A and B are shown apart, each in its own frame.
Chain A
């Protein structure tokens, strides 16, 4: 299980160690850098190291751990900032100072922190995976402690009172100990009883999304956009306002300053649903662009595993990743370092398959314990040059049910969110329609269709206006264009800052109805022979 370093090239380390397993986690060198076995050969193992390898020498030790790359799951993750390997960045700051050391390992769950555990079962009862053993309070969240997947039996002991993350909550008759903080390998999806069809909308608070391109709890969507089109601002606005219980935000190869801004904002803002700080319902996974590239590759798996854990507690969880393209870039860099044969645009041929399998971890489920839970995903994509025909966008478009395409031209004219209403789509519309018609507005579906019809009419008229000029259009057509412009400016555009930051479904429907009716009234007035100026005045609504 152990051996020596025999070669180093960037994040790829060769070792003569025998007896290692594929994907086993290993400690590399005197600093104990975290690595993962990616290839086994007769001569030894090829290891992908998740930390900076500079300074590593030949002959330094390599030791296997006997398990694959894992994270620890339990109370104490909410409000934390973790790196791609689940190291607590906020705690590392206290112990290492502002610069990250290689090899400095601290557990994600603070072992000094105690959780008052209220037992919900008695010794002698039979429990199976997913059953609730009891609960602790994690901030405002009643955090149930569940029997982990694959475990079942008769309860021999059950703890109560103050417990740390490492403490044993329960012991089964066969001697199995169930700790408060449970481990799970990040590359293996956590099991559930069955997947359910998506029925409920994921309310983002963004009018254009909620009405025109609705998302569903358990669905996956992508936001492709070139730089400067506002992907990050939109993802952060959704992270703030989405009507879910837990948000896992994965800054995958993104900017350090933006992560700092996010934390500062979230610590100061209140969660409108609970009144507590927004940060308390958020887990941040931050592997910024200058942190080791292999850990960036692992970061989305760490994030989705944390998200699945909260889903298994019976919660609605939203995973936001910014951006998946950076993950793909990491995959490409690692593939090149390993000498893999490149596929399209240099990405490994496994890229599309791995993305599809990753997106498959989203879903509305019945958990092992029989509770409903959901894991939704919104993934931003940074296509090179804003060109959505590139392989990452295409692979994700196939795997996800909605695509909110950000448009450079809209962004330049400071129309935000710069979602292009013609190019974007959502396949969740039919799934959530009934819910919205029953609980929000009976005319929900018709509002959506009327909005889209008006925007389409504007688009075709704009082509004519290009040639004949606006004055060359008939009054009726000019009014149609004005009515659509009203819709774009007052409904589709929505500042991520300032006062009108989030809109409830009812408010969204109300505003759409008001603007559509104003447009209809103006057109009707014109049809009745009233002068253009008089008809257009009907569009001037406060």
Chain B
């Protein structure tokens, strides 16, 4: 901490959430500053860059009303930190980490920097413990394991929040939840709050609504992950982090980047979007020799339903798989509309099999996958030549694909234990005689 308090009125430029001031002494990159407007309002900011005695500050909060002459800057000498405590569970905070549930702030057990040091890859433990979500398309075919980051790729108008609600509900009582809402509408937010209220007490929620500052949209996931790491690696809890919607996060990042007049990359997103997303996603994991895990489910909306858009594309390169929702399935009444062909769980192999789920899990999953893929291909063919133009075996693959969607993927409100999911899959393969198809 600084011993003397220096205040400066040397602001030379204000633009959106950015402030430039000069004649500042001994500033540090990442240091927090307090900015006071003429009417005494205080806004927190962070030093982004230094050039001789000039600093570039990113403001967390509403910058409207600031002026060049009267705005006062005070350096705090501290980097952004977050008070963390077991008592966070059960609380609701805003995007800046302040309680908004009408109760006083919890007592901090520790203060942690919100942009932590990366996990040493040599210190990670390979994720291998199965998590039962109760959803057949996930448990059976895209198995989630503790410490994994498995995003949901949705499209506007698809029931992503219902799927997330189900995952929040489904992750057993052993899990602590960290829920992060970024730029959500009131409508979406009230849905999630109802889910959380109904199901869990051991949850901490960070909420940033669509009409709240975009800077808090960038800060909230960092605060939340700092809390998650504390709960997991200090207290030994299994933590499930759900962040929705990452598309709002990336748009906020693009907005700030263009305010900074940075060179735009693909579709105007900054060239460091990959590294920035990685700094969030890579905080999921497990540590060798320590209990606790951070499992992450980021949710994003694919603009124009396009999986090659930079946001899903870069996300897919960092996360360990993805669950892709399909408009086509949803139109046909399949709920949840998870399209298993582009979906993938990279860590599934270690989480399934004898002693974890069941010995025949891999065989069933592979058979379901390849038979369904072939069935989908045949649908295209059948559309051209007609069903009768297909061989008998191909006709049964067609029937299998339909039944697989209606009975295995579709499950409505039902929760299925993994054994039940596998029996269902095995039953389908046997019913249509497509079991041996490789």
Contacts and interface: CB of A to CB of B under 8 A. Distances in A.
Interface of A: 5-10, 14, 52-59, 81, 89-90, 92-93, 96-102, 226-228, 232, 251, 253, 255-261, 263-264, 286, 288-291, 293, 323, 326, 329-330, 332-333, 336, 342, 345-346, 382, 384-387, 408, 412-415, 465-472, 489, 493, 497
A48 to B, nearest CB: 14
B118 interface: yes
Contacts of B278: 253, 288-290
A326 B233 CA distance: 29
Smallest CB-CB A-B distances: 5 pairs: A385-B308, A469-B385, A469-B389, A289-B278, A98-B123
| Candidate in A5, A89, A384, A465 with the most chain B CB atoms within 10 angstroms | A384
Nearest to B28: A57
B115 A261 contact: no
Contacts of A255: 282, 318-320
A7 B51 contact: yes
Interface in B250-274: 262-266, 271-272, 274
B381 to A, nearest CB: 7
A257 B266 contact: no
A433 B363 CA distance: 38
A370 B346 CA distance: 45
Contact of A59 (B26, B342, B370): B26
B119 interface: yes
Given A10-B49, A99-B116, A257-B347, A288 B394 contact: no
Contacts of B438: 489, 493
Contacts of A466: 381, 384
A330 B271 CA distance: 9
Interface stretch (B189-197, B208-216, B284-292): B284-292
Contacts of B52: 6-7, 58
Interface in B66-83: 79
B148 interface: yes
B118 A414 contact: no
B336 interface: no
A322 to B, nearest CB: 11
Contact of B29 (A56, A288, A329): A56
The residue in A102, A259, A291, A326 that gathers the most chain B C-beta atoms within 10 A of its C-beta is: A291
Interface in B364-384: 366, 369-370, 373-374, 377, 381, 384
Given A99-B119, A470-B390, 15 more contacts: A14-B51, A53-B29, A55-B30, A58-B26, A81-B122, A99-B118, A100-B118, A226-B313, A228-B316, A228-B322, A256-B124, A257-B124, A257-B126, A261-B126, A289-B274
A256 B282 contact: yes
B260 to A, nearest CB: 10
B341 to A, nearest CB: 4
B183 interface: no
B172 interface: no
Q: Is the interface of A mostly helix, strand, loop or mixed?
A: mixed
B119 A102 contact: no
B148 A257 contact: yes
Contacts of B120: 89, 92-93, 96, 98-100
B317 A382 contact: yes
A38 to B, nearest CB: 17
Nearest to A52: B117
Contacts of B283: 290
Contacts of A471: 385, 389-391
Interface string B14-35: 0000000000001111110000
B350 interface: yes
A56 B118 CA distance: 18
A10 B271 CA distance: 13
Given A9-B49, A54-B79, A470-B394, A413 B370 contact: yes
B109 interface: no
Contact of B373 (A52, A263, A413): A413
Contacts of B298: none
Interface in B318-371: 318-322, 341-342, 344, 346-347, 349-350, 366, 369-370
B279 interface: yes
Given A257-B126, A346-B263, A466-B381, A413 B121 contact: no
10 contacts: A7-B51, A58-B27, A99-B120, A226-B316, A260-B127, A293-B275, A414-B366, A414-B369, A471-B391, A472-B385
Contact of A92 (B122, B125, B266): B122
Given A9-B51, A57-B27, A97-B123, A290 B370 contact: no
A258 B320 contact: yes
Contacts of B347: 257, 261
B174 interface: no
B147 interface: yes
Contacts of B149: 257
B386 interface: yes
A264 to B, nearest CB: 5
Contacts of A493: 438
A272 to B, nearest CB: 21
